[in-house]
Amino acid sequence: MSQEPKGWQSYHTVWAVLIFAWITNYLVRMGLSPVLVPIMREFQLTYAQAGLLATAFFYAYTFMQLPAGVLGDWIGKKTILVLAPLWWGLMSLGTGLAPTFSLLFLARFLTGVGQGTYFGNDRPVIAAYTPADKMGFGQGVSFTGLGMGMAIGISLAGVIADWWGWRMVFVIFTIPSLVAGAVVWRFIQEPPRTRGVRLPGWMWLLLAPFPLALLGGLATDRPLLLWSSLLSPAAFVLCLVRQQPVVRKADLWFTYLAGIAPIYCLWVVGIWAPAMFLEIGVRELSRSSLLASLLGVSAIPGLLLMGSASDRLARRGKGRKGLAALILLGMAGAMLLMGTAVSLKASPILLACLVFAAGFCIWGVFAPIFALLAEITPTPIQGTSFGMNNTINFIGSLVAPIATGWIKDASGSFAGACYLAAAVGVAGAILVFLVHPAFRWGREVAAPAA
């Protein structure tokens, strides 16, 4: 038996660089959350309208997942991983300088365009360079950058906003994003190329109506036009499934759909946690942001511990889906308790502990789910599959901010939104446990290559 190499390995460099890139990604993404209240005051917005502003990012982010994954399989993943941080850095600057609500909305939408290209290309790079027996840990540790960026972004944004106003948050967050693009270019190598998905040109034309219909619906306040914009990417997905039979496999779709639950809960808490602390009596924006940042801090133990546990179970032939289902049930319980704490106006410390517990489960489930997806997806289409996964997952992000804002406007409390998130978590647990062998602890079966 060959001895495992000691010391720093090349895959550690890949992990470290992509951790840094994800930190800058989430600095820009989460900078909005603590400053939503001052933005609402400046532009005289309701909670539902503020939720719509938050959702502008996710419309574009979700829209870009699948096309970016397909492009990465085709033209190379490194190219996208270099250009994307440069793009979202410039859009962060545009957010800070936006003089009107319309331009602010557009800047956040375009931020989502750039950030939406990352996941479908970074996860296959991790899968390509990480040893198979460390896949769960590798997918987990490399994803801790999201939690670090969330914690730093939420807490630092609140402090910057208190000192210099909300606009300086995005101006300052531009700098590390530009640095990230240079670091990825210097240290990441393109993984070995395989024949990726090649799509006919007419399929790409299906995507053209989406941004026009979406922005038109938002500009004219016509919900029918807004929601009809989703028909364009839906048609693209249906055509892709027709072109690539392997993508039709039920186990892949159970995994994709189960991932909606943690994303939904992540953005209920990630967008609205600072406002939840304000609801229960915390008055300082910097303090509410600091407490809410525990959602990001929880990513580090959640991803590392659950990634390691996932690898141990997989080595014993128990598979990964059972652990994922248990984590999702834990997430549902934490969201239920969070709603109760908000309704009772519990102490900020108790609510902060529940935010941490929910975050531990939200982040923790990503490690086994991503490792499972890497194992059941043929290598040539991993970029496409991860892109499809995040496209489906982020349906939760499209609904969560608006639904939570609407529930707050209608009921005067965030409690009901937390209860709804708990129900979504239970549904996710059931879905992931349907992966073959269904409702049993056993090794999952890889889909055959097309």
List, for residues 380-404, the tens digit of each pLDDT value. 777 778 878 888 898 888 789 889 9
User: What pLDDT was estimated at residue 298?
Assistant: 93
Does 64 have pLDDT greater than 50? yes
Max mean pLDDT range (40-44, 271-275, 358-362)? 358-362
Q: Give the span between the Cα atoms of 91 and 110, in whole angstroms.
A: 7
| Across 174-188, 275-289, 309-323, 405-419, least confident range | 275-289
Determine which of 1-10, 22-31, 313-322 has the lowest per-residue pLDDT on average: 1-10
The single-letter code of the amino acid at 242 is R
Contact assessment for residue 46 and residue 375, using Cβ atoms and an 8 Å cutoff: no
State how far Cα 419 lies from the chain centre. 21
Residue 296 has pLDDT above 90, yes or no: no
The pLDDT of residue 255: 96
pLDDT of residue 11: 87
Q: What is the pLDDT of residue 1?
A: 42
d(CA 33, CA 274): 7
Q: What pLDDT, on the 0 to 100 scale, is given for residue 194? A: 61
- Tell me the average pLDDT across 347-368: 96
- For 44: left if phi > 0, alpha if psi spans -120 to 50, otherwise beta; the answer is left
Query: Exposed, middle or buried, 247 (CB in 10 Å: 0-12/13-18/19+)?
Result: buried
Q: What is the pLDDT of residues 183-222, one digit of tens each?
A: 999 999 888 766 555 666 667 677 777 777 766 776 666 6
Residue 331 half-sphere exposure toward CB, CA atoms < 13 A:
37
Please report the pLDDT score of residue 218 as a whole number.
62
- The mean of the pLDDT values for the chain is 87
Distance of CA 242 to the CA centre of its chain: 27
Nearest in space to 138 (alpha carbons), one of 293, 279, 52, 18? 18
Second CATH level (architecture) for the domain 12-191+244-432: Up-down Bundle (1.20)
CB 13 within 8 A of CB 187: yes
Chain mean position to CA 387: 12
User: Does residue 140 carry a pLDDT above 90?
Assistant: no
> What pLDDT does residue 219 have?
61
Query: What pLDDT does 67 receive?
Result: 80
**Residue 385's pLDDT is what?**
80
Amino acid at 147: G
pLDDT at 221: 63
How far is residue 140's CA from residue 143's CA, in Å, rounded to a whole number? 5
Q: What percentage of residues in the chain have a pLDDT greater than 70?
A: 91
What residue has token string 């055509």?
239
Q: Return the percentage of the chain with pLDDT > 90, whole number.
A: 47
pLDDT of res. 4? 62
Amino acid identity of residue 177, one-letter, is S
**What distance in Å separates the CA atoms of residue 413 and residue 427, rounded to the nearest whole number?**
24
- Is the pLDDT higher at 283 or at 85? 85
The C-alpha atoms of residue 431 and residue 261 are separated, in whole angstroms, by 10
Quick one: average pLDDT of 54-74? 80
Which position has the higher pLDDT, 238 or 395?
Answer: 395
* Sequence ranges of the domains in the chain: 12-191+244-432
